Structure 1
Amino acid sequence: MKLAFCLFKYFPFGGLQRDFLRIAEACQRRGHSIDVFTTCWEGEVPAGFDVHLLPVSSLTNHGRSLAFGKALSERLGVAAYDAVIGFNKLTGLDVYFAADPCFAAKVRHKHGFLYRLSNRYRIYAALEKAVFGPESATEILLISEVEKPHFIGHYGTAENRFHALPPGICRDRKAPDNPLQERNNFRREFGFSDAAQLLLMVGSGFKTKGLDRSIQALAALPELTRKNAFLLVVGQGDAAPFLRLARKLGVDDHLKFYGGRNDVPRFLFGADLLLQPSYYENTGTAIVEAIVAGLPVLATANCGYAHYVTESNAGLLAPEPFVQEQFNELLLQMLTSSGREAWRRSALDFASRADLFSLPEKAADIIESVALRSHR
């Protein structure tokens, strides 16, 4: 079969981008040909992928989204594909990978009437309706149940169009057979002592991930605890405003940025605690990656994957609405608790029993079924 995968931008360290790549590769392993349509591709192109760059120009993100959709429609109109799979909201999709929250619900809670008169609103609302509206036939790959009621409530989307997927955690995140050696090797290489308390954040988009909340919690630790605590940040983003905040709070020497990396498992194995105090998170893949690695988690309850922390007993959740002082107390509790080993064992036990890995294969199953249906 000939499959078209569409996403606005590809770069190696984005969660959506990683999911796209693994799903496309799963389809390729089944013998299907893979065409990719995007505005930008950073990094190596996998063997056998045919990447089509669609240059678009606009002064705004919503303008670029609209231009990409128009250019994509023109290209797809002159080629025959068995299925068109989108990772951003676009018209004409057979399958949509729902990585983003419901735009209509977000607008209703955060913006007034005047915002709904803007071009930005009209464009994004139209693209979302093209996917979720009742007249659409797009099948929806759902990675978090959190947003499903919003889509159904706003658009009347048929229940049978949603296909729930398990997390797609890479198996290299699984805890090694020699965890203590991996931990010690990491600390030697990056210059941390055995006594250092390493707090880890993973993911691009530092503002949404709540990096400012983690920095404030780090600064609020008692002096003796804070002296040995370091916040490690892995991912792409603008570090400057967060470094300014850390300097203002006197913890800039305890904040380390490592950029986007391919060796994330080493950080998971070397750290003491994962922090995920997101303002909003449709999923929060790093939460499940940490559980698989045996790393205790402190996250906000509004993350789509927060329920895995509760189900696995692998850490603590900061309830909504978020209160910074409460998060500070939870961080201190986890750093000084004697229960960290119990959290680690519970996480590993849960990871050995739950399906946390098969997202690419399940997504490929659904894509194939949609493509076969179009043939019939």
Structure 2
Amino acid sequence: MKICIVTHKLKKGDGQGRVNYEVAKEVIRRGHQLTLLASEVAPELQNNSLVNWVEISVQKFPTEFIRNLVFAKKSADWLNKHRAEFDLVKVNGAITTTSADVNAVHFVHSSWLRSPVHISRTRRDAYGLYQWLYTALNAQWEKQAFQQAKVVVAVSEKVAQELVNIGVPRSQIQVIVNGVDLTEFTPGISSRQSWNLPENVPLALFAGDIRTTRKNLDTVLYALAKVPDLHLAVVGDTEGSPFPQLAASLGLSERVHFLGYRRDIAAIMRAVDLFVFPSRYEACTLVLLEALASGLPVITATATGGAELVTPECGVVLSNTDDIEALAAALSSLICDRPLMQQMGKAARSLAEQYSWMTMAQNYVDLFEDLKANSTFLGMGHGAKGMEKSFFASQKRATISNQSPENADSRQLSMKNTVLIPTYRRPLDLSRCLLALQAQTKPVDQVIVVVRDTDQETWQFLADFPTDKLPLQTVTVSVPGVVAALNAGLAAVEGDIVSITDDDAAPHPNWLEKINAHFLADSRIAGVGGRDWIYQRNKLEEGSHQVVGKLQWFGRVIGNHHLGVGEAREVDVLKGVNMSFRHAAIAQLHFDERMRGTGAQVHFEMAFTFALKRAGWKLIYDPQVAVDHYPAQRFDEDQRHNFNQIAFINLVHNETLVLLDHLPPLRRAVFLLWAIFIGTRDSLGFVQWLRLLPSQGQLAGKKFLASLRGRWLGWQTHQQFKIQNPNFKNKFVVF
């Protein structure tokens, strides 16, 4: 494959230049031929036999504006002569006037021009006018460049939304977050004496350009005045900066330490306790990821690109960058709880490990190879965690599959398919899911997307979605939680088969075809499920299990749906991300509204599938009925792998309630004894608490107490329902 990258620089120590440097290294590693149109290239790239550097010299020109114009003209002239030689061209913004296949967007000038902290609004002089002209012209040029690209890559969710705001279709956008050097930026301890910083005091760090108010050091200083025990280290060039004087006027000279411009920021991060950076405008800041990688709790703001990556477990995201009281409260809450800061630091590092430079570069080159393999590809946006694995790789893997249980090709039109997708605030993930449905070998007859009434991000995405691509309809729900969403969606189902998946999943191309074949083969089948190939931290979770979706006699449920192998077989439980039902079998059935939680409502599918089993229907698990699953950010108390007491209680409550409803009296008693005295890693009993105590300490105790609380609440809900419905266990229960 022959690839051309057009950029000013490819080297370390330069934000956009580092991105292209890492992408170039991955292109070379995979053996592709690479041509670089650039003014400056790192020596190690120049000396590689796979690299052809076409130098575009602009250093002699006086201003950045003129240098950019000259670069755009020279690169376009060269590309117009040689464009046919390349399989793919990647550019950055409006760097050249020639069209490209991939345009990586690190900054949206149209949004910056509208920002209240744009330089033209803070400086009413010739320099301010120059900055206004520079931004305004770039804003016009970049719109044209984005229209010409096949795929537009945004470096953050914030940039993705800004692109939509200027007319770039959501379906054309992918998010690939910039990377971080996980070996340079790493948790540790540095002596503060190297920078004359005080020992044995809580110390925060601010890093950025402090010659303007854009980075918002002024709000940080005003907040610091309200937190008397906290010191602040400031990294940034102080020449022409108004902030040393502001710090002095606030009486902070003893607590604010201006370090000037530094190249040893990684070492400084190991000497401080937390990072504060509530920038007023940022497309995607590398320093935020660097702080997370250094194991620092972070305080930032929604106006800062990349802030969407920060979870409550590792930091605080302020809704208003200028809210001094909120910032002061956040600072105070952290420095008063050192164990919390240590816990948040570990979570920060764990989060940053998902965003290495290598991972970012692999995502770009995966995209290049996909474009080469499929010329009709128009992009499938990924969520806050980034593009994790190639969708087309899943298509290739999906073709390596067993035959359906019965060759029903001649009868597929006899059953219509509805796909039901609950979604909330993950439009880029939803885009990938809908693209996968467009690629089905058996066309889908109806797609129902259930959207919360307050979810403006998704509504905007759906408003821009091409109406001719899928038979798409929307259902609005106002009650939070997946149960309410699915019940609302069931009311609109028109197909003979309703297939349910998550917005962060991408069904394999033969998904509907294989589902149909099972239902056509056996009229006793009410439900069909299959494997969800989980990608965590850009890696496929590997493993295999023969026992999947089974309820043991004493009440333990074995899932393993994401690791199932072997032939299709009958099971007791299906998984919500990949389950389909015969509409006639569930016509009077609804998902159990007693499930606790405001989002995922874990174990909701157990109640539904157990009800089908009690009614005598068959449930089939077939590993070849597959989806790729990219677990995305949740917006409720359940944050997957991070402990939250409320989420843990809800999980155990739901499991307890479902099993008490389903099991006969003797097995119900056995289950309660087993659950309280033994339990599982997800629902701790006494034995599991003892087992986890050496490794998890106090956390194991919190989980154990939460489990007991969840068991008790589940028992209470079961008893209340039993009193109100004394014959429920003998009926096909309709919730």
Report if TM-score (shorter chain) is over 0.5: yes
Aligned sequence identity (%): 22
One-letter code of the match for 2:355? Answer: L
Structure with the largest fraction of helix: 1
1:100 matched to 2:112? The reply is no
Corresponding residue number in structure 2 for 1:210:
216
Q: 2:175 aligns with which of 164, 167, 190?
A: 164
Displacement of 1:294: 2.0
Corresponding residue number in structure 1 for 2:204:
199
How many aligned residue pairs are there?
Answer: 349
- In structure 2, relative to structure 1, the CA distance for the partners of 1:215 and 1:17 (3 Å cut) is farther
SS of the aligned residue for 1:36 comes to: strand
Q: Quick one: distance in 1 between partners of 2:344 and 2:78?
A: 51
**Residue deviations 1:12-36 (CA, integer Å, cap 9, x gap):** 4333222222112111211234443
Corresponding residue number in structure 1 for 2:70:
67
Q: 1:151 aligns with which of 163, 170, 173?
A: 163
Displacement of 1:62: 4.0
Corresponding residue number in structure 1 for 2:138:
124
Residues 202 and 335 in structure 2, CA contact (< 8 A), matched pair in contact too: yes
- Structure 2 residues not aligned, in runs of 5+: 121-128, 376-735
Q: Which has the larger radius of gyration?
A: 2
1:268 matched to 2:269? The reply is yes
**Residue deviations 1:171-208 (CA, integer Å, cap 9, x gap):** 215645xx3xxx1x433544445413332234567643
1:1-376 paired onto structure 2 within 5 Å: 1-8=1-8, 12-39=12-39, 46=45, 47-48=47-48, 50=53, 52-55=55-58, 61-79=64-82, 80-90=85-95, 91-92=97-98, 93-101=100-108, 103-107=109-113, 120=134, 123-133=137-147, 136-155=148-167, 157-172=168-183, 175-176=186-187, 179=188, 183=189, 185-203=190-208, 207=212, 208-222=214-228, 225-226=229-230, 229-233=231-235, 237=237, 239-241=239-241, 242-251=243-252, 254-257=256-259, 259-261=261-263, 263-309=264-310, 311-320=311-320, 322-338=322-338, 339-348=340-349, 350=351, 355-357=354-356, 358-371=359-372
Pick 1 or 2: higher relative contact order, CA cutoff 8 A, min separation 6: 1
Residues 54 and 71 in structure 1, CA contact (< 8 A), matched pair in contact too: no
Residues 155 and 176 in structure 2, CA contact (< 8 A), matched pair in contact too: yes
Displacement of 1:252: 5.0
- In structure 2, relative to structure 1, the CA distance for the partners of 1:334 and 1:206 (3 Å cut) is farther
Corresponding residue number in structure 1 for 2:380:
none
Displacement of 1:71: 1.6
Q: Quick one: distance in 2 between partners of 1:251 and 1:51?
A: 52
Q: Quick one: distance in 2 between partners of 1:301 and 1:121?
A: 22
SS of the aligned residue for 2:206 comes to: strand
- Structure 1 residues not aligned, in runs of 5+: none
SS of the aligned residue for 2:166 comes to: helix
RMSD: 3.4
Q: Quick one: distance in 1 between partners of 2:63 and 2:25?
A: 32
Q: Quick one: distance in 1 between partners of 2:240 and 2:257?
A: 12
Corresponding residue number in structure 1 for 2:389:
none
Q: Quick one: distance in 2 between partners of 1:330 and 1:22?
A: 36
Q: Quick one: distance in 1 between partners of 2:35 and 2:205?
A: 36
**Residue deviations 1:262-307 (CA, integer Å, cap 9, x gap):** x543333221111111111222333333233321111112223223
Residues 14 and 204 in structure 1, CA contact (< 8 A), matched pair in contact too: no
**Residue deviations 1:64-121 (CA, integer Å, cap 9, x gap):** 43332112112223333333222332332221111113x3344456599xx9xx8546
Q: Quick one: distance in 2 between partners of 1:72 and 1:158?
A: 27
SS of the aligned residue for 1:78 comes to: helix
**Given the two structures, how large is their TM-score scaled by the length of structure 2?**
0.42
One-letter code of the match for 1:259? Answer: Y
Q: Quick one: distance in 2 between partners of 1:164 and 1:17?
A: 18
SS of the aligned residue for 2:81 comes to: coil
One-letter code of the match for 1:200? Answer: L
Q: Quick one: distance in 2 between partners of 1:369 and 1:107?
A: 34
One-letter code of the match for 1:23? Answer: V
Residues 88 and 97 in structure 1, CA contact (< 8 A), matched pair in contact too: yes
**Given the two structures, how large is their TM-score scaled by the length of structure 1?**
0.77
